[in-house]
């Protein structure tokens, strides 16, 4: 019984923005617990490379190349998955971007791009997938939030705004869809070594500050996000809904 709570065999997961970084780590983690994974991204080359890597390791993986910031492309992409690959049991809304600049000089076009990538994509994909899940009376949606859903830092105010929206959209999805049998939650990573954070990883001053600021005194390793994803994707979280789970080494708990 205990093992079955974290067993994802027979379940299919779509992960957006999953050809690298957090998305790929989560895809591999879910696959390692038995799930079939569908890798999504805009670059066919990167998506196919990720799928090949997973298949070479013995995992059941498929590709779905479409732009999650485009509502029509997203609906079409989800329909293709559902009709040609199979029903989506688990959705991980991971696609995201970062852009750093002082708020007074922040380019308007980057503001719009952040909104589309970090929050509109969750609405578009979440809605398209949830319609199918609602008809089936079950489904898991995991949105990737951030410690910036709770805290702000100099130079990334627009990113902080989008991640705060992710946290509240997760709550709203729960309010609307939980009674249909769906569980919608979020994972809020702290600082992990990813391509998105490479500039910070390579900055000795920032890394030194982070190690002092974080109670765990280090950067997170991507594999440390897998347990949270497996928990929220499986039966163990059947009565967890609208929750944001911070995986941050204690960063948001102390001054």
Mean pLDDT of 215-223: 95
Mean pLDDT of 121-139: 98
Taking the whole predicted model, whether its pTM rises above 0.85 is answered as: yes
Query: Quick one: pLDDT at residue 196?
Result: 73
Mean pLDDT of 105-115: 98
Nearest by Cα to 19 from 72, 62, 60, 59 = 62
* pLDDT tens-digit series, residues 61-90: 999 999 999 999 999 999 999 999 999 999
Positions of E strands within 109-213: 139-144, 182-189
Query: Quick one: pLDDT at residue 193?
Result: 87
Q: Please report which helix (H) or strand (E) contains residue 171, including its range.
A: helix 157-177
Catalytic residue among 59, 124, 159, 191: 159
Question: Is 246 noted as a catalytic residue in this protein?
Answer: no
Query: Quick one: pLDDT at residue 174?
Result: 98
Query: Quick one: pLDDT at residue 53?
Result: 98
- Computed on alpha carbons and rounded to an integer, the radius of gyration of the chain in Å comes to 17
Mean pLDDT of 139-160: 96
Structure tokens, 125: 């994909």
pLDDT at 3 over 80: no
The percent of residues in the chain predicted with pLDDT above 70, rounded, is 99
HSE, CB side, 13 Å, CA atoms: give it for residue 146.
27
Query: Quick one: pLDDT at residue 1?
Result: 52
Structure tokens, 242: 């609208």
Structure tokens, 146: 């951030």
Task: Label residue 25 by pLDDT band (50, 70, 90).
Answer: very high
Domain ranges (residues) in the chain: 3-246
Mean pLDDT of 44-62: 98
Residues 82/88, Cβ–Cβ less than 8 Å: yes
Query: Quick one: pLDDT at residue 198?
Result: 86
* Domain topology for 3-246: Rossmann fold (3.40.50)
pLDDT at 40 over 60: yes
Query: Quick one: pLDDT at residue 37?
Result: 98
* pLDDT tens-digit series, residues 154-188: 999 999 999 999 999 999 999 999 999 999 999 99
């Amino acid at each position: 019984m205990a093992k079955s709570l974290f067993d994802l065999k027979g379940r299919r997961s779509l992960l957006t923005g999953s050809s690298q970084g957090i998305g790929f780590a989560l895809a591999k983690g879910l696959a390692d617990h038995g799930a079939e994974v569908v890798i999504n991204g805009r670059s066919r080359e990167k998506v196919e490379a990720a799928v090949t890597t997973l298949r070479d390791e013995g995992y059941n993986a498929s590709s779905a190349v479409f732009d999650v910031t485009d509502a029509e492309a997203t609906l079409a992409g989800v329909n293709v998955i559902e009709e040609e690959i199979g029903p989506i049991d688990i959705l991980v809304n991971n696609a995201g971007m970062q852009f750093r600049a002082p708020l007074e000089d922040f380019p308007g076009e980057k503001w719009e791009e952040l909104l589309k990538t970090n929050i509109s994509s969750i609405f578009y994909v979440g809605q398209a997938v949830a319609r199918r899940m609602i008809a089936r009376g079950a489904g898991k949606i995991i949105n990737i939030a951030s410690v910036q859903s709770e805290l702000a830092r100099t130079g990334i105010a627009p990113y902080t705004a989008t991640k705060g929206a992710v946290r509240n959209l997760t709550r709203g999805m729960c309010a609307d869809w939980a009674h249909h049998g769906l569980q919608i939650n979020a994972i809020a990573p702290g600082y992990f070594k990813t391509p998105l954070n490479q500039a910070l990883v390579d900055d000795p001053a920032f890394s030194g500050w982070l190690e002092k600021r974080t109670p765990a005194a280090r950067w997170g390793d991507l594999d440390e996000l897998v347990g949270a994803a497996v928990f929220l994707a499986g039966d163990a979280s059947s009565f967890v809904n609208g929750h944001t789970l911070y995986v941050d080494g204690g960063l948001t708990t102390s001054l």
